[in-house]
Amino acid sequence: MKGTIALCLAFLAYPFVFSNAFYLDIGVALLLAAISASAWNIVGGYAGQVSVGHCMFFGVGAYLPLLVYQHWQLPPIVGVPVGIAISLVLAVLVGLPTFRLSGHYFSMATIAVAELIRLVVSTWDFAGAAIGLQGPAVGRGWYDLTFRGELPYYFIFLGVLVIVLAVTWQVQRTRFGYYLRAIKAGERAARSLGVPVRRTKLYALMLSAAFTSVAGSLYAIKTGFIDPDSGFGILVSVQMVIIAALGGAGTLYGPLVGALILIPLQTATNTWFGGGGTGLTYILYGGIIVIIARFEPGGLHEMWQRIAPKLWKRHAA
């Protein structure tokens, strides 16, 4: 509890301590990454159903606000609930057939559906095809959520992150959360104890999809621009997976910890290596993912659990 309060205070103080635009930018990027990864974590971490195509929900969430603006001049925020609704439908379409089968089918289906959507969007003029969509350049009112500085975005994103984590915390404590962990630990045994496995997995995917969609909307509203690669590109999914897995998939704060490490690291590699750095960043991503999978699938959380008791012992001695 103390830790949570300290964490909240640190996040509230951050923009005032590091008020220059560069640091604020990192803060906003970090919060967004933490939101998406926490959303992924619900199905990928807690339920152990590894989606590698979560960009489909992020992209839908990102496109809808700009679509409603582009075609009907509505405030982008109107697109947010529509995005959530479409993401939920997508979640059912992907989850219903694959959750009967082994986990590999689900992973394959997510990546294939995400790529299918990316290809369709890239050729679909209504959605801006390969060029993408733009939001209002100058806000017509507060409802367009176009702010000159980063500060308002920082606090909106922080608020959403708090909501996602609070929901996750609540899920963890309820029957639904116990069922998710049971499914991850052993489907056959869970089923024998009366856990409705398929339905529980589907609900987890839907909850996760809704939050991921919101993350996409936040991204698009803040950036004011979206194209197929920044919405539906594989790297969008990769970032969610790597951040959650690094911090500890299936733990409340794992994704946040992962974002705290990875986003500054990413900024650093991009700064050090200049424009060519992005390629190196992704090589690094791949390397980190392989190392986590091979040596520490529980991420830093599991590592800490193992090391911490030994550290205390040394202090005591």
Partner 1 sequence: MLLLQVIVGGLLLGAIYALFSSGLTLIWGMMNFINFAHGEFVMLGMYVALLVVVWLGGGPATFGFAAAVALFVLGVLVYGSLIRHVTRGPMLAQILSTFGLALLLRYTAFWIFSANIVSLPQTSLGGTLNILGILVPVAQLVAGITAAVLTVAMHLFLTGTTIGSKLLAVAEDRNAAMLMGIRPDRMQALAWGLAAASAGIAGALMAISYPWSPSVGETFGLMAFVVVTFGGFGSVPGAMYAGLIIGLIQALSAFYFGPIYKDIVVYGLFVALLWFRPQGLLGKA
Partner 2 sequence: MLLSAQNVSKEFGNLRAVAGADLAIEEGEIIGLIGPNGAGKSTFFNCLAGETLPTTGKIVFDGVDVTTASPETHARLGIGRTFQVPATFEDLTVLDNVMVGAFLRHPHRTHARAHALKVLDLVGLKDRQDLRARSLGTPGRKRLEIARVLATGPRLMLLDEALAGLTPAELQQAIALVRKIHETGVTLVIVEHIMEVIMTLARRIIVFNQGHVIAQGEPQQVVKDEAVIEAYLGRGHRNWRKKD
Instruction: Report d(CA 182, CA 139) in Å as an integer.
Output: 48
Nearer to partner 2, 115 or 296 (CB): 296
Contact between 283 and partner 1 by CB under 8 A: the answer reads yes
Q: Which residues from 150-179 bind partner 2, rule CB under 8 A? A: 173-175, 178-179
Q: Which residues from 145-204 bind partner 1, rule CB under 8 A? A: 184
Choosing from 15, 27, 48, 254, the residue that interacts with partner 1 (CB under 8 A) is 48
Question: Environment class of residue 118 by beta-carbon count within 10 Å: exposed (0-12), middle (13-18) or buried (19+)?
Answer: buried
Name the one range near partner 1 by CB under 8 A: 59-67, 110-118, 154-162, 264-272. 110-118
Which of these, 206, 229, 261, lies nearest to 33 by C-alpha position? 261
The CB density around residue 60, as the number of other CB atoms within 10 Å, is 29
Instruction: Report d(CA 46, CA 154) in Å as an integer.
Output: 27
Which of these, 205, 204, 209, lies nearest to 180 by C-alpha position? 204
Q: How near is the Cβ of 231 to partner 1 at its closest, in Å?
A: 16
Q: Work out whether the CA dihedral 143, 144, 149, 155 comes out positive or negative.
A: positive
Contact between 297 and partner 1 by CB under 8 A: the answer reads yes
Q: Which residues from 180-219 bind partner 2, rule CB under 8 A? A: 181-182, 185-186, 188-197
Residues 6+ apart with CB under 8 A from 200: 47, 176, 179, 180, 183
Name the one range near partner 1 by CB under 8 A: 26-34, 47-55, 71-79, 165-173. 47-55
Name the one range near partner 1 by CB under 8 A: 20-28, 159-167, 289-297, 304-312. 289-297
Residue 25 CA to its chain's centroid (Å): 18
Site residues for partner 1 per CB under 8 A = 44-45, 48-50, 52, 93, 96-98, 100-105, 107-109, 111-113, 115-116, 119-120, 123, 184, 234, 238, 241, 245, 249, 279-280, 282-283, 285-294, 297
